[in-house]
Amino acid sequence: MSGLRLGPLEVPAPVVLAPMAGITNAAYRRLCAEQGAGLYVCEMITSRGLVEGDETTRRMLVFDEAEKVRSVQLYGTDPVYVGKATRILCEEYGVAHVDLNFGCPVPKVTRKGGGGALPWKRNLLGRILEEAVAAAAPYDVPVTMKTRKGLDDDHLTYLDAGRIAQDAGCAAIALHGRTVAQAYSGQADWDAIAALVEHVDIPVLGNGDIWEAADALRMVEQTGVAGIVVGRGCLGRPWLFRDLAAAFSDDGPGETTLPTLGEVTVMMRRHAELLCEHMGEERGCKEFRKHVTWYLKGFRAGGELRRSLGLVDSLATLDRLLADLDPAEPFPASELGAPRGRQGAPRHRVVLPEGWLDDTDGLGDGCSGVLEDVDETTGG
């Protein structure tokens, strides 16, 4: 399978790192990019925060010196703000790709009509996409969108969203094969992804339950997607992008080599080092702590050592603790294909603005929900 084309942007491998709050910062994107070619998306930022000059939002827009293709996911509920934010990203930050988030299932987002709730308002969705595409056009920057199947099984929106994205001039649409109500529980519906591929002419990217490179190949075969989006599957496993790049190469997948614990510790050290380069040693080590459990999932590392690694405060301490791990220990086969990160349970009710389901327009007075907070950060 060849690379991925998003308008004028050529991505060598059809693989996209999904933005994850607190995870896909410049250090982690660099780490994953060192493993294999693909597109690595910055943590999601809000259009309002960017337009109004929010300091937290601006701090999130940090890129590694090796990051040649800058990709950012933008969240917003107001077409004017989204358009202005898109222009700022292109003009001031040299971004080469803008993705719009219409998939976030978090209640604090959906209660304002944002994220996965917004595609219910078809006309509002179209206006937002049109504003973003128009703002990016002078810079030759492709705009894509990410969405979910719908609010729940009784309120599906993904086929309409695909048509609207195509009509608005989007370069591609990514579909997470779950509803907002499902959040991250259950299994992703790859049949829905295949249906969207049949429904639109623009490239469709598939998201959901990509835990191994073999899953990605199976998704492409079953759905016909032009590329895949990886989120939770790479937590504590940045080498997944190496496996994915190999799987999609002209030479074919070949045989996947699982890392030993010694090779995993090298990756952990590199991750911490990059975090410290970008944030300073104290903050970088604190940021690294959350990744320890993911890296060591399934390995025999003792509880006391794990606790100490979870409190690491310097690279010297990290080196000392990593030296206590058995470098020859093989990768735990039980973890292959196993879900990673948050899962949770499905929600009985999606939190929405009052009267949200009454119409599918969203452009009338009082129908467009509540403007997002300037520092809203999450993912989809």
Cα separation, 35 vs 237, whole angstroms? 10
Provide the token pair at 231. 């989120």
Provide the token pair at 144. 């894509």
Number of CB atoms found within 10 A of residue 271's CB: 22
Check: CB of residue 371 under 8 Å from CB of residue 49: no
Would residue 170 show up in a list of annotated catalytic residues for this protein? no
| Pairing of β 97-102 and β 71-75 | parallel
In which element (H, E) is residue 74 found? strand 71-75
SS3 content of the chain, % helix, strand, coil (to 5): 45, 15, 45
Residue 59: strand, helix, or coil: helix
> Which residue out of 32, 42, 90, 104 is catalytically annotated?
104
What amino acid occupies position 6?
L
Number of CB atoms found within 10 A of residue 58's CB: 14
Check: CB of residue 319 under 8 Å from CB of residue 266: no
Place of tokens 């209640």: 107
Q: Can you give the C-alpha Rg of the chain in angstroms?
A: 20
Provide the token pair at 331. 């990768």
Q: What is the DSSP letter of 138?
A: G
Place of tokens 């405060």: 313
Check: CB of residue 77 under 8 Å from CB of residue 368: yes
- Nearest CA to 296 out of 287, 308, 284 is that of 308
Provide the token pair at 152. 């729940």
End-to-end CA distance of the chain: 26
- Nearest CA to 73 out of 54, 92, 58, 86 is that of 86
Catalytic residues: 104
